[in-house]
Amino acid sequence: MLGAMFLSVSRRYRAPREVGVLSDPPESEIAGLIEANRAALNVNSIHINGTPLIEFRRQAVSEILGVARAYMRECGEPVPDFADGPLLMSGHQPELTHVGVLVKTFALHGFALRHNLTPLNLIVDNDTVKTTALRLAVLPEGQRTPEGVHLLSLPYDRYDGEVVFEKRRILEPALFDSFAERARPATETWGFEPLLPEMWAEMRRQRARTPILGEIVSATRRAWERRWGCHNLEIPLSRMCETQAFRRFARHVVADLPRFHAIYNECVAAYRTRNHVRSRNHPVPDLVQQGEVLEAPFWTMNPGEDRRARLMTRPGESFDGKSLRSRALTTTMFLRCILSDGFIHGIGGAKYDEVTDAILERWLGLTPPGFIVLTATLRLPLPTFPTTPENVHDAERAVRDASWNPQRWLPEFSSRMPEIHQLMEKKEGLINAEPTGKAERKEWFRQLAGVTMQLRPFVEQRLVESREKLTDLRREATANESLIRRDFAWCLFPEAVLKDFCQKLLAH
């Protein structure tokens, strides 16, 4: 059952166009990937902060599991009964994500059970909140027309800039609490009942426990995962970064900062060149240097502040007393090399980790551990219009044909109208006598265009009708593009559809 659900893998890591799951490698190869990772990571020749990597990993996993279990108990949730590692991990920001992200936690659980691993999901709460609104499809009531279809961005809280998730509180409780009701005018025309009303009731219940938006969203997601048979250990990145294991890893980086700094920037530059990226912010910004002061690949969080700052330090300088948070590449570096035997990436993270792999090889002399790339496509079961992209393409071709080859539309009249017949014969003769010389071709094309212009008035009405049809088809196709988007939030789906889709990833 699981194998039939997976689509063919694209090494370019593109999300499936049809409904289904992309996994690279396929599950049949995951056991081999895990074994290869262990062979690369469980070595004594590489040291982290003075400790052999194999021992450092053992200590880090033990500490992280204790913190994760304590966190889940603090949330008032049952703690899943898993052994103490080895770990299979994944993670994402605590957002109201689309299904392609949600399925990673179900795959994490299913893969871990089938390969004797402990599933641990990371809540990436050191990132910043980019939006406090959900996108909804709006369909007109009564007679459906494509002109009435549009997308609505409906806020569930007031946006207040890019505050980090771990500090971001609900700013307008009344706006938050009323979200499901305010969404109802849009959702009631969909033809099905979305999860949203019931799910938002849980969001409101969680708000009574904590004011932190990311915590509310994460706890609500976990409630539905447990309801559907998925129960992973989970830990916020902010708590992971406060562990002794992470701070020792950070000390190891900072102690070797001049060399790490150079390797980091060189690997980022090579990625940009290889992928023809011009932006200085992609895949990540360079680490800067100000005289003897170097930027380390970490954020600092000052007490009482809700925005992060870059860690600037001199070689050998201590960061004790500062609250550290990892950044994109150092996050996956720590997760993939220190904590886990396997990691599940989405498409974006997998692409950026090309840089991480290059850094690991040059900095630690380590064969980069492999990872799994997983995403999915599931579309809301909204009513769509019958037009397909192929219909639009055919209509566009018909308009072009009527404009530039009107003779193809006129055979039925040619026998009754000698003028048309003569023009058609003249054009056919020109087409069959296409010259090769540049000067001759210029005159030939002029004559051909002239005959075409003489024929065009005879198909004007059909050309007008074809253009009107094309306009109508384009409107329907544009409306369909809004209705079949793959990035609608998971809470907008009907429970039966989403539950069945996700549970296939749990199958034994």
| pLDDT tens digits, 344-357 | 999 989 988 999 99
With a CB cutoff of 8 Å and minimum separation 6, the contacts of 412 are none
With a CB cutoff of 8 Å and minimum separation 6, the contacts of 37 are 341, 342, 369, 370
Q: In the prediction, which pLDDT does 284 show?
A: 93
Q: What is the pLDDT of residues 154-178, one digit of tens each?
A: 999 999 998 999 999 999 999 999 9
How far is C-alpha 356 from the chain's CA centre?
19
Using a pLDDT cut of 90, give the percent of the chain over it: 73
Whether the predicted pLDDT of 7 surpasses 60: no
Q: In the prediction, which pLDDT does 122 show?
A: 98
Tokens standing for residue 16:
């499936």
Q: In the prediction, which pLDDT does 414 show?
A: 58
**CB-based burial label for 79 (10 Å; 0-12, 13-18, 19+):** middle
Q: Name the least confident of 34-48, 409-423, 428-442, 454-468.
A: 409-423
Q: In the prediction, which pLDDT does 240 show?
A: 97
How far is C-alpha 226 from the chain's CA centre?
23
What does the pLDDT average to over 286-312?
89
Using a pLDDT cut of 70, give the percent of the chain over it: 96
Whether the predicted pLDDT of 92 surpasses 80: yes
- Say if residues 173 and 192 touch (Cβ distance below 8 Å): no
